[in-house]
A and B are shown apart, each in its own frame.
With several copies, the nearest count.
Chain A
Amino acid sequence: MAEMRILEAGNADYLKVDPDGYRAWVREHKPHQMVSKLMNEHEAVEKFVHDGDYLAYDCNYFQRGPSSLIREIIRQRRRRLWICGKFTYVACALLVEAGCADRIDIGFIGFGPWISRAVREGKCKIYEYSNAIMTLRLKAGAMGLPFLPVRSFGGTDGFARSGCKLIEDPYTGQPIILVPAINPDVAVIHVHQADEFGNARVFGTGIAHQECALASKRVILSTEEIVSTDEIRRDPSRTSIPHFTVDAVVHAPFGAYPGIVQGYYASDPAGVIEAMGAMFRGDFREYLNKHVHSVASHEDYLDKVVGAKKLAEIRSRETIREGYSA
């Protein structure tokens, strides 16, 4: 038998690669049949986000992200989460500062005093990747594979602190990087439209919503609109996420606030700057009190903290509809 050399390997911990275990999970726990999954965010997070989970959110707190679900996770005081920290401004900072997360695979995350402090104090362990390496790891998980090859990341200092390997390609004989698959314990994803079963549509560009849904053991969708399954069937090419991957569907209008949902509403610059300011100051206490703990639910939050006037304004500031409907 011929051999291939493993030329280098990162030395960091990474989520265990177990495609067989994931297949068994899918067989046992995923809802293969069409069953309604409508529930509120409290129930969804209570049921499907557990202490110690590996958590992936798609997009981020400012851009079509599951912001209301992130606030609910903090409200329910989840602990020891390991975060997929790709393409992120404040979500990781919020989750770490709120005491919910203690490990992050990076990607890119909004920085500031909080992170150096968290690392120095050992409150948070960081594993080094890049955005597209993380989405590729999710893609490997979404393909039911243990790894995928890639032609970036080699030679970086991140590589040495990752779970990646540099091997000899058995076809070309040249060195090539392998990235380990991720199958997150739970994914939270915000979409434009979903039916009660979880067949969902995302309009416009995205980061890795389909990969997150296919790769994750438990999937919570928050959605701007609930549509009928007939509407889904009217344009099957628009289905980004199929129902059988989904465990919970939460109807969350303005669920991405203070972020944008392209085609539906604009971001709230004041809300964005308020969160970024807290991050750069390195103190989220005030932000968390006002935006998370002062209210019991997203509905409550929109009503008491954000207010109808603001919602009307960001809705009207989004003037572009083209391409954001089926």
Chain B
Amino acid sequence: MSTPATNFNEREHVICQVARLVEDRYIYWVGGGGEPLSTALLAKRVHAPNLQYLTEDGVVGPEALVPFDPLMTMISSRANYRALQWATMNYAADIAHLGYVDYGILNTLQVDRYGNINSTVTGKYEGGEGRRFGGPGGADTIAALAWRTILMTDQQKRKFVDRVDFISSPGFLEGPGARERHGLPPNTGPWRVYTPWAMFGYDTDCQLMLQGISPFVSVDQVLSEMSFKPKMAAQLDILHVPTEEELIVLRTQIDVAGQTTDRGRWIELRDGKYMFADQ
């Protein structure tokens, strides 16, 4: 069953977009909570029953029991239920060093034209003038060592900036060859950025490229929520909306309390067109 949904919110939409990329035949390291973990939990229940993912605490291929108590997404008996292996953080990093992690899925506070990730500070770093955040956490390891990194964030001017205020985790840094010059393994790096409004890839110059938009926004709307003009793909995909099946699983099993999805605007199907409900 895959009936297009007629009513969903932005967060649900973006989680479903990324969940659809997740396949049984790859190994994923997902950020240990929020949207990234939700994409894996959703995919495993909808179309990838044998999905294997790691989180930072060194769990390998759990069959998580959802939902979780608030923040209990790692070092937790439900999140790590019936895994193939239980280890620790350095073990997860070893697995990623070896090239077993096909995809990393992360969210970010800020991303720039080269896919660099900021989760440390907005504004000026020195003297604590800027607004300070939590730091890279596990994202630095994932962004450096996974073959391909999928970023999730919101479509907002302050999140898409020409140069992030602080590179917490590496994108393509200053461009082609820069990762290798700084000791990171070759042929790795940013692959996609998903927002509720759009999907981005990268061109051969390692620069962010708009590749798809959601049916409820226009290209101009997307560009108006970026501080720089991205490269444009020759043809833009129109992203599929969530299916009813995906939403049922997401709402009734994974995010029952709305801890992850209960933010963002609602979209509805009106006269055959998807538009914001508040529009």
Contact = CB atoms under 8 A, between A and B. Distances in A.
A272 B65 CA distance: 20
A108 B137 contact: yes
Contacts of A324: 77
Nearest to B60: A242
A284 interface: no
30 contacts: A26-B98, A27-B102, A63-B75, A106-B134, A109-B134, A116-B132, A119-B128, A131-B56, A135-B88, A135-B89, A142-B94, A144-B97, A151-B97, A153-B140, A155-B167, A156-B167, A174-B180, A175-B180, A175-B183, A204-B77, A205-B83, A208-B90, A230-B82, A233-B63, A233-B84, A236-B59, A236-B86, A260-B72, A273-B70, A324-B77
| 7 closest cross-chain pairs (CB), A and B | A144-B97, A119-B128, A155-B182, A108-B137, A23-B99, A154-B182, A152-B144
Nearest to B188: A23
Contacts of B180: 174-175
B83 A156 contact: no
B144 A33 contact: no
B111 interface: no
Interface string B164-201: 00111110010000111111111100000000000000
B92 interface: yes
Interface of A: 19-20, 22-27, 30, 32-34, 59, 62-64, 85-87, 89, 106-111, 115-121, 126, 128-133, 135-136, 139, 142-145, 150-159, 166, 174-177, 199, 204-211, 214, 229-230, 232-234, 236-237, 239, 242-244, 260, 262-263, 266-267, 269, 272-273, 276, 318, 320, 322-324
Interface of B: 24-27, 50, 52, 56-60, 63, 65, 69-72, 74-78, 80-90, 92-100, 102, 120, 125, 127-141, 143-145, 147, 166-170, 173, 178-187
A154 B58 CA distance: 22
A206 B84 contact: no
A151 B143 CA distance: 11
Contacts of A23: 97-99, 185
B137 A107 contact: yes
Contacts of B133: 111
Contact of B167 (A85, A135, A157, A204): A157
A243 B74 CA distance: 22
Given A135-B89, A206-B88, A111 B99 contact: no
Contacts of B94: 142-144, 214
A214 B136 CA distance: 26
Given A34-B50, A116-B131, A323-B86, A262 B80 contact: yes
B83 to A, nearest CB: 4
Contact of A154 (B27, B76, B184): B184
A267 B77 CA distance: 11
